[in-house]
Amino acid sequence: MRRFVVALALCAAVGCGGAPKIEKTPLTLADVPADVLKIAKEKLPDVTFTEAYKEDGNFELRGKDKRGKLREIDITPDGKVVELD
């Protein structure tokens, strides 16, 4: 019985599985819809995009600006900008 109580307390403290991990799926820029890429270029005109991912249905594009700073934009499939870094 004591082991059961200890195991139960450990599960409560650590969690039993937790939230599912959302995976980023790497894409080529050619796989990104043209309208999504157009929005990204309009919002970050000085950025050369080099990486693309699909995460939780949204598109994440990364690249560097002319000064070498890493920039990122997340866009929904219907064109709404979710995050801009």
Give the residue from 47, 50, 54 showing the smallest Cα distance to 76: 54
Q: Is residue 48 part of a domain?
A: yes
Percentage of the chain modeled with pLDDT above 90: 72
CB 19 within 8 A of CB 36: no
Q: Is residue 13 part of a domain?
A: no
Q: Is residue 6 part of a domain?
A: no
- pTM (global) more than 0.85: no
pLDDT at 78: 94
What domain range is 57 assigned to?
21-84
pLDDT at 54: 97
Number of H helices, E strands in the chain: 2, 5
Q: pLDDT per residue over 13-48, tens digit each? A: 555 555 566 689 999 999 999 999 999 999 999 999
CA distance 3 to 21: 30
